Structure 1
Amino acid sequence: MSGLPLKWAIAGDGTSLAYRDSGGDGVPVVFTNGYATSTYYWDALVAALGSEVRAITWDLRGHGRSQPAREPQSLTVAGCADDLRRVMDAAGVERAVQVAFSFGCQIVLEAWRLMPERVMGLVPILGPFERPFDTLISPKVGPQLFEVFRRVRPRWAGAMLKAGAWSGRMPGVHGLAQLTGVVGRGVGARAMRPFYETLGGIDAASWHALGVAAQAHSARDLLDTIDVPTLVIAGGRDVFSPGELGREMAMLIPGARLMWLEEATHTGLLGHPEPIAASMRTYVKGLATPAAPAA
C-alpha cells in the first residue's frame, strides 16, 4: 500500500486525514489502525489478500501522515468512528468490511453503533471492546498505569513518545521485548523498526486524548446486536489485549467465529501474517457466497 498515492479526507474538526485506496473490484475492506501505530502494520496482510479486496488504509488523527487533531477534545472513540465514515465518503465506499487492530477494534465497534448500514462485516484483531487499561499487563497494573498516564501533560507525553522511539535503537531492547512477551519471538528487529519510527512522529496531544478516550469507552452493550459476519482474532500471549478478551467478544457476538493464535503476542500481525491472511481469505470468500436456502 505504501506505493499508492496518498489521498485525503477531512475530519469534523478540519484535520486532514491521510488514506490510501488500492481500488479494484474486490470486496471493500477498510483497515483501522491501533493506538500509536500507522498503516505499515497492514502491509503483509493487504499484500496477501491481493485483488480479492479493495483495501483502504488510513491514519488516525495525529498519527502517521494524518495531521495533528485541531481539536484534541473531539478525539473520542465516536469521533474516530466519524473519521472512519469520512474516509469512506471520500473514497466513495458506501459499505465495507471493517478490519481493525488493537484500539481500532473499539473504533469499528463504535462504527456499528453509529452507522450499522455501512458495516458489511467485522474483523477485530488483537483488540479490546472496552477500557483497555483495565486488562493491560494485569488487572492490577493496567489501571495504575492509566492513572499515571491520565495526569501526564502533553509536553511530557511528547517526551514519552520520543523516549520510546529512541529506545528502539538501543542494543538489547528488542531481545528484552521478546523475553517479556511484548514482541513475538518470530518478529525480527527490522520488522519493528517502523513502529519506533512512528512513535517519534506522533502528535502528543492527539495521542494523550486518544488514550483517555479509549479508557472511557465500552462497546459491551453493542455486542449482542451485531448481525453481520464477524471474525475475531485473538492471541494467546498478548499482554496488551489478552486473548481471553477476544474469546469473550466472540462469545457475545451472535454467530461470530474465533481464530485463536496460541503463540501470538500483540505483534501478531507481524509475526503470524500467513494464518491471519488465510483466515481472512476464507472470510471474504464467504461474504461473496450467497447463503444456501433453508430446507
Structure 2
Amino acid sequence: MALTPAGLSMEHRRHGARERRAAVSGRFVTTFAGDPDMPIASVNGQNLYYEDTGGRGPALVFSHGLLMDHTMFAPQVQALQGRFRCISWDERGHGQTADPEQCAPFDYYDSADDLAALLEHLGVERAVLVGMSQGGYLSLRCALIHPEIVRALVLIDTQAMLEDPEQMPHHEALLRAWMEHGLSDDMATTVERTILGQGWSGAAAWRAKWKKATPINLGQSFLALAQRDDISPRLPDIHVPALVIHGTDDTAIAPNRARAMAKALPRAQWVEVPGAGHAANLTHPQPVNLAIERFLEQLD
C-alpha cells in the first residue's frame, strides 16, 4: 500500500495551495449537515465543524493535534470563555469534519487557509491562535501566509522542523497496520501512550474515537504530517508574541525541538510542564491554563 498518491509531489501541492489562497473570497455560506443546530462552515471547499462561545472578548482559536478533535481543548475553553471568545474546530479528516468524500490530499497550508476562511466566516478580524502539535503546524503557517489575522500564537507540544527520521518508520508501520486491519488493542495502547501518556484517566474515550477513524482520513492526515516542509528558517519572519508550552515527558516531539523553535521566534516565551506528555493541555490543564492566562494578560 503506497502512502504517497502517485504523481503528487509536495511542491505541486504547495503551488496548488498558493493558487487556492489567491482565489479565496468573501463568499462563504453556512450549511447544516443532518442536525440543523450543528454549526458547519462551508469554506475553502470544506464543511468545517466548529464551536464558538461568542462574546465580545478577544478571540482565541483552538486547533487540535493529529488523531484528536476540538474537544481536546475543553479544559481551556471552560477556563477562558468568560473573558474571551473561544472558537474550536475540527480540522480536515478529524472529528465532525471527517467526511471521507472531502478528504482529498492536503497540506498544512491548506489547513491554514481553512482557519483563515473560518475566521472570515465568523467575522473575526484577528485572533490568538492556539495550536497543539498538528494544530501548531497549521497555526505557524497561518502566521506566515495570513499574518494580518494573527494577534499572537500559543504553541503546545509542537515544532517547526520535520519529523524525527528515526521515528517515521515506526509511525508508517503503525499507520499501515491500522489502515489495513483496524486499530488493535495493542496499537491503541501505543497511540494512547504517545499522545496522552500512561495511565491518564480520560484515555478510554479517545481510544473509542480512534477505533472509528476511516482509512482515507488516516492516510491523508498522515501524508500531511509526513510530507510537510521545514519552516524553521522562516520563524524569524513571525513577529507576533508567542508562547511555547511543552511537556517535559513528550516522546512524540522531544522538548529540545520545541525549545529551538522558541529561541528562533523573535518574541517567544518558553514554559515547560513537568511530567506532561504530548497533550499537555488535556492531561495537565491547570499549569497550561495558568501559562496561557498570564500570556494573554501581557498582550496589548
What is the TM-score of this pair, normalised by structure 1? 0.81
**Deviation of residue 253 (structure 1)?**
0.2
**Pick aligned residue for 2:168 from 117, 135, 143:** 143
Judge conservation of contact 1:28–1:97 (CA < 8 Å) in 2. Answer: yes
Worse overlay, 71-80 or 55-64: 71-80
Distance 1:121 1:286 in 2: 11
**Pick aligned residue for 1:197 from 208, 211, 215:** 208
Which of structures 1 and 2 has the larger relative contact order (alpha carbons within 8 angstroms, sep 6+)?
1
**Pick aligned residue for 1:163 from 183, 196, 199:** 183
**Pick aligned residue for 2:117 from 86, 100, 106:** 86
Question: Are 2:63 and 1:51 aligned?
Answer: no
Distance 1:109 1:69 in 2: 26
User: Cα gap change, 1:252/1:63 in structure 2, threshold over 3 Å: closer, same or farther?
Assistant: same
User: Cα gap change, 1:77/1:46 in structure 2, threshold over 3 Å: closer, same or farther?
Assistant: same
**Pick aligned residue for 1:252 from 254, 264, 272:** 264
**Deviation of residue 254 (structure 1)?**
0.7
Matches within 5 A, 1:228-247: 228-247=240-259
Counterpart position of 2:62: 31
Aligned residue for 1:163, secondary structure, equals coil
Distance 1:235 1:17 in 2: 29
The number of residue pairs the alignment matches comes to: 263
Counterpart position of 1:293: none
What is the TM-score of this pair, normalised by structure 2? 0.79
Distance 2:42 2:195 in 1: 34
Matches within 5 A, 1:1-295: 6-13=38-45, 15-68=46-99, 70-132=101-163, 134=164, 139-140=165-166, 142-146=167-171, 148=173, 152=176, 157-159=178-180, 162-163=182-183, 173=189, 183-184=196-197, 187-188=200-201, 191-217=202-228, 218-287=230-299, 290=300
User: Cα gap change, 1:114/1:200 in structure 2, threshold over 3 Å: closer, same or farther?
Assistant: same
User: What root-mean-square deviation, in Å, do the aligned CA atoms of Structure 1 and Structure 2 show?
Assistant: 2.5
Judge conservation of contact 1:125–1:234 (CA < 8 Å) in 2. Answer: yes
Q: Which runs of 5+ in 1 are unaligned?
A: 291-295
Worse overlay, 80-89 or 194-203: 194-203
